[in-house]
Amino acid sequence: MFYYSDTEVKQPFSGGFRKIDPHKQWLKHYGNYIELAWIAAREHGVHKFQAEKEIKICLKKLDYWYKRPDFELGQVLSEVAELKRTWNFSPRDPW
């Protein structure tokens, strides 16, 4: 497991849902997505398989935060560009 477990039992959330910054969460998962895509593109065998499994989970999380009514994609575009530059990222990026 790199970031996401598909077997972990989810714990109920007891915090203030509206207090969570959707931009910060989306960027965290986007950074994970870029790293996982990098691993999937360069590794073989078990690591590639695991990264591809986790990418599916990561994309669901990105979509969840993207759909929050208080999320504005324009507020994260500069950070997205910086992450892409850092990782030299371009393959089939859904964002």
Summarised one tens digit per residue, pLDDT across range 24-63 is: 999 999 999 999 999 999 999 999 999 999 999 999 999 9
What are the phi and psi torsion angles at 6 (to 5°)?
A: -95, 0
Q: Domains of the chain: which residue ranges?
A: 21-87
- Tokens representing 48 are 């590639």
- Tokens representing 54 are 């986790």
58 versus 1: which is more confidently predicted?
58
CB–CB of 46/95 below 8 Å? no
